[in-house]
């Protein structure tokens, strides 16, 4: 978190550097709970477009 200066970090910002995965594969692993840390999806409104996974 200190490197990024925030407590919520987009998965796409760290997937290649720390996991060696492209964003699409990282999001798949996040949705199947196969990453070594917790992730969640933020939505802009109920039932609308979901943003890519986020780390907390």
| pLDDT for residue 4 | 74
- The model's pLDDT over 3-43, given as tens digits with 9 standing for 90+, comes to 778 888 889 999 999 999 999 999 999 989 999 998 887 76
DSSP output for 2-42: TTTTSSSEEHHHHIIIII---HHHHHHHHHTT-SSS-EE--
Cα 42 from Cα 49, distance rounded (Å): 9
pTM exceeding the 0.95 threshold for the entire prediction: no
SS3 44: coil
């Amino acid at each position: 978190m200190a490197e990024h200066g925030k407590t919520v970090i987009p998965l796409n910002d760290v997937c290649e550097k720390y996991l060696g995965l492209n964003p699409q594969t990282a999001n798949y692993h996040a949705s199947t709970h196969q990453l070594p840390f917790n992730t969640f999806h933020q939505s802009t409104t109920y039932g609308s477009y979901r943003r890519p996974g986020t780390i907390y």
